[in-house]
Amino acid sequence: RQIQEKLKLIDVVFELIDARIPLASRNPMIDEIVGAKPRLVLLNKADLADPVRTGDWVRHFRALGHEALAIDAASGTGVKEIPAKAKELLREKIQRQIAKGMKPRPIRALIAGIPNVGKSTLINRLAGRNAAVTGDRPGVTKGQQWIRTGADLELLDTPGILWPKFEDPKAGFLLAATGAIKEEILHVDEVACFVLQMLAEGYPDVLKERYGLAELPEKPEDMQAAAQLLEVIGRKRGCLAGGGHVDYEKAAGVVLRDLRSGKLGRLTLETPEESAVSAE
């Protein structure tokens, strides 16, 4: 509801999602919330995601009728293209203003996304050193501040916070794995086993190389096989509890830290094909 209030003030929504988990990091009701307002889907943290799969996802969103861009708000890669993309999306509106003899005013945008997806980082990156909060405007809700960025673009200073896709358990694991939700909500060793299963399926060579494994379980989808794999990794990494037993929580910490910091390489844990399945 808060976002819908803000929609009245803006021309375009920048929907920020996590390029590693484009499905799980999307709000399930985003289409209804945003309605007909033009939308630019921004796949953030692309520096941590598999570039081939990011390309697939960008094409997927474009096929759905949304303009999409892969960005890395932390380092700034791709961020410069955002104002031009927004202008492109609003080309007809801008042309109408020009035809009426009006000087096009800066495009106004709202950044929306789930917690930890990088909203504040992107606002700071877009605003840059030239950031100037322009303050209240006539006809605009009192107290609403606009951040003027260099390129004919103004941002609402408070991003729209969306809730992630909790309802299916897989999405919950993906969100915990990437650090979007606190892993304590789930058992950390279960989250790590889930990650190992995903890696064994999608990136077996990465997994073998990182942990020096000669081979992977034949059926990694079996929870017991994944737990055994976590045990092997824990032993290799010296994550031991008393009596020579592996400390699973410590081992899980190693795997999750490796994933989040990019030490396992650039990985994407969802494909557009799954999106077609989950929409059915």
In angstroms, rounded to a whole number, what is the distance separating the alpha carbons of residues 34 and 143? 22
Helix runs in the chain, H state only: 2-7, 30-34, 51-63, 81-89, 91-99, 119-127, 169-178, 188-202, 204-211, 223-236, 248-261, 272-279
Region binding ligand GDP by CB under 6 A among candidate stretches 6-14, 112-120, 216-224, 251-259 = 112-120
Asked whether position 74 contacts ligand GDP by CB under 6 A, the answer is: yes
CB of 213 to ligand GDP, least distance (A): 26
Region binding ligand GDP by CB under 6 A among candidate stretches 22-30, 40-48, 219-227, 236-244 = 40-48
Region binding ligand GDP by CB under 6 A among candidate stretches 6-14, 41-49, 168-176, 195-203 = 41-49
Cα 159 from chain centroid (whole Å): 15
Asked whether position 45 contacts ligand GDP by CB under 6 A, the answer is: yes
Asked whether position 256 contacts ligand GDP by CB under 6 A, the answer is: no
Q: Are 268 and 199 in contact (CB under 8 A)?
A: no
In angstroms, rounded to a whole number, what is the distance separating the alpha carbons of residues 224 and 201? 15
Provide the pairing of β-strand 12-18 with 39-44: parallel
Question: Within 13 A of 261's CA, how many CA atoms are on the CB side?
Answer: 7
Nearest CB to ligand GDP, comparing residues 113 and 164: 113
> CA distances (Å), 238 to each of 151, 153, 192, 242, in order?
52, 52, 17, 12
CB of 73 to ligand GDP, least distance (A): 4
Asked whether position 157 contacts ligand GDP by CB under 6 A, the answer is: no
Nearest CB to ligand GDP, comparing residues 14 and 248: 14
Region binding ligand GDP by CB under 6 A among candidate stretches 49-57, 116-124, 141-149, 220-228 = 116-124
Dig out the tokens for 222 from the structure: 């079996």
Answer for which of 70, 73, 198, 199 binds ligand GDP (CB under 6 A) is 73
Answer for which of 121, 149, 178, 197 binds ligand GDP (CB under 6 A) is 121
Asked whether position 206 contacts ligand GDP by CB under 6 A, the answer is: no
Nearest CB to ligand GDP, comparing residues 108 and 119: 119
By beta carbon distance, the residue nearest ligand GDP is 118
**Beta-carbon contacts of residue 113 (< 8 Å; ≥ 6 apart):** 15, 16, 17, 25, 44, 119, 159, 160, 161, 162
Binding residues with ligand GDP: total (CB under 6 A): 15
